[in-house]
């Protein structure tokens, strides 16, 4: 059996890769090794081990490397420690292949550790574009990776233009789209209790907006201003607001502090605050909302396949492939609110399968079962 190590770094990362993990765990040709790391091991970002246990997925190793704080130097140092800790995990597990997903600093640490240890490396989501620091990191990971699982046709073409050999590129779609099915779109009996964090208990029968504002790592000075603009905008809304805490990118401490300050000093009776929920409940939450507001890539990916109206705010998701469900706004209170009103009036959009058809996880498993791994890649020009 081929030993396949998969590094999980955070809550969104797990949602992206879960249905590959489930399929790989059932394979008779693959032995799955899950390495839990980074913010996925930290309570304030949503500890994930209990989620994995519920999904009958076993953790093979843990890598602790996330330093506390939201500055650029913390992000850089966490990457360095990540390389050390993940190298130790790979030395212990001795995988035949490492699979990583995304474009964050933890993903870069995974790529560097695997590459320098001569372990074949596969990357999901290479060739995509966005407006954050992730753009540079993602392309660096592409050049370190030996195999690519492209999520869109355009991504595949960019990988080819980056000089990657065509035989190493597979158009599979994104495994996160495997979550989007009729079962997970429906509100189930205990849904509201399962997703509850703090604040207002969501009444899913009444209109609600899902809001996420992650930091912009390339411009951390703007995060404090934008955080206030974002919350001031949401405070003007009469609908229920489901607000997620920001991820662990540089600048997250400013955003989190702003939320805490507002929660203590302003009336936010219609707000629900969430750290982490299961990937299935997240899809359910999005599916039944009236609008998605903020800068999460899930509003573009899952949002397009669900056909839920979305307002993407700021530059974090610049140039990313979007569906008809998305309109953009600058960080300005009246502009955001006008766009929200406009999107709510449109109600739902026709679903678009830009990032996959719901079978990506199984496709990647089948490819890995039959692939003869090698690390002798060359640039094509």
Question: What is the DSSP secondary-structure string of 29-78?
Answer: SEEEEEEEEGGGG-GGG---HHHHHHTT--EEEEE----SS-SHHHHHHH
**Measured between alpha carbons, how far is 365 from 172 in angstroms, rounded to an integer?**
10
Domain with CATH 3.40.50.2000 in the chain: 2-179+358-370, 182-346
Instruction: Specify the pTM.
Output: 0.89
The whole-number pLDDT of residue 39 equals 82
- Please compute the mean of the pLDDT values over residues 158-174 and round it to a whole number: 97
The whole-number pLDDT of residue 158 equals 97
Confidence of residue 220 (pLDDT cuts 50, 70, 90): low
Superfamily of domain 182-346: Glycogen Phosphorylase B; (3.40.50.2000)
Residue 201: Cβ within 10 Å count: 12
Of 264, 215, 277, 274, the closest CA to residue 241 belongs to 274
pLDDT for 75-125, tens place per residue?
899 999 999 999 999 999 999 999 999 888 899 999 999 999 999 999 999
In this structure, of 20-24, 50-54, 329-333, the range with the lowest mean pLDDT score is: 50-54
- Please compute the mean of the pLDDT values over residues 298-314 and round it to a whole number: 95
The whole-number pLDDT of residue 377 equals 95
The whole-number pLDDT of residue 133 equals 80
- Please compute the mean of the pLDDT values over residues 234-244 and round it to a whole number: 97
Of 271, 348, 331, 6, the closest CA to residue 149 belongs to 6
Higher pLDDT, 67 or 114: 114
- Please compute the mean of the pLDDT values over residues 248-253 and round it to a whole number: 81
Asked if residues 83 and 113 have their Cβ atoms less than 8 Å apart, the reply is yes
User: What does the buried/exposed string (b/e) look like for 269-305 if buried means 16 or more CB atoms within 10 Å of the residue's CB?
Assistant: ebbbbbebbbbbbbbbbbbbbbbbbbbbbbbbbbbbb
Confidence of residue 302 (pLDDT cuts 50, 70, 90): very high
pLDDT for 357-379, tens place per residue?
889 999 999 999 999 999 999 99
Q: Percentage of the chain with pLDDT > 70?
A: 98
Q: What is the 3-state secondary structure (H, E, C) of 111-139?
A: HHHHHHCCCCEEEECCCCCCCCCHHHHHH
pLDDT higher than threshold 90 for residue 222: no
Confidence of residue 72 (pLDDT cuts 50, 70, 90): confident
pLDDT higher than threshold 80 for residue 337: yes
**Measured between alpha carbons, how far is 148 from 172 in angstroms, rounded to an integer?**
9
**Measured between alpha carbons, how far is 307 from 310 in angstroms, rounded to an integer?**
9
Higher pLDDT, 325 or 219: 325
**Measured between alpha carbons, how far is 177 from 16 in angstroms, rounded to an integer?**
8
The whole-number pLDDT of residue 125 equals 94
Confidence of residue 251 (pLDDT cuts 50, 70, 90): confident
Q: Taking the domain 2-179+358-370, which CATH number applies?
A: 3.40.50.2000
- Please compute the mean of the pLDDT values over residues 207-214 and round it to a whole number: 97
- Please compute the mean of the pLDDT values over residues 228-251 and round it to a whole number: 93
Q: Which two tokens stand for residue 30?
A: 């693959």
pLDDT higher than threshold 70 for residue 70: no
């Amino acid at each position: 059996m081929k030993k396949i190590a998969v590094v999980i770094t955070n809550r969104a990362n797990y949602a992206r890769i879960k249905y590959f993990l489930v399929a790989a765990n059932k394979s008779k040709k693959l032995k799955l090794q899950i390495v839990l790391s980074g913010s996925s091991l930290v309570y304030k970002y949503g500890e994930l081990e209990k989620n994995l246990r519920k999904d009958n997925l076993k953790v093979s190793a843990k890598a602790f490397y996330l330093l506390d704080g939201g500055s650029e130097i913390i992000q850089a140092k966490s990457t360095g420690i990540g390389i050390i800790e993940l190298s130790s995990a790979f030395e212990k597990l001795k995988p035949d292949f490492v699979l990583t997903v995304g474009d964050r600093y933890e993903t870069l640490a995974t790529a560097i550790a695997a590459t320098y240890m001569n372990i074949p490396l596969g990357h999901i989501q290479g060739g995509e574009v966005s407006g954050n620091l992730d753009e540079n990191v993602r392309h660096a990971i592409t050049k370190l990776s030996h195999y690519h699982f492209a999520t869109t046709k355009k991504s595949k073409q960019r990988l080819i233009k980056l000089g990657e050999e065509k035989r190493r590129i597979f158009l599979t779609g994104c495994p996160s789209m495997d979550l989007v099915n009729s079962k997970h779109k429906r509100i189930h009996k205990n849904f509201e209790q399962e997703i509850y964090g703090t604040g207002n208990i969501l009444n899913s029968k009444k209109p609600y907006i899902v809001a996420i504002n992650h930091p912009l790592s390339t411009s951390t000075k703007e995060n404090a201003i934008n955080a206030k603009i974002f919350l001031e905008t949401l405070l003007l809304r009469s609908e229920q607001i489901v607000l997620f805490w920001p991820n662990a990118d540089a600048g997250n401490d400013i955003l989190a502090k702003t939320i805490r300050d507002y929660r203590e000093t302003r009336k936010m009776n219609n707000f629900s605050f969430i750290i982490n929920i299961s990937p299935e409940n997240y899809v359910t939450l999005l599916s039944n909302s009236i609008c998605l507001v903020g800068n999460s890539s899930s509003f573009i990916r899952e949002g397009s396949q669900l056909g839920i109206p979305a307002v993407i705010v700021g530059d974090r998701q610049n140039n990313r492939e979007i569906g008809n469900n998305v309109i953009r706004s600058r960080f300005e209170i009246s502009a955001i609110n006008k766009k929200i009103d406009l999107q709510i009036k449109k109600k739902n959009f026709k679903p678009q399968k830009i990032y996959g058809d719901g079978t990506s996880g199984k496709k990647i498993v089948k490819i890995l079962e039959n692939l003869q791994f090698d690390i002798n890649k060359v640039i094509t020009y």
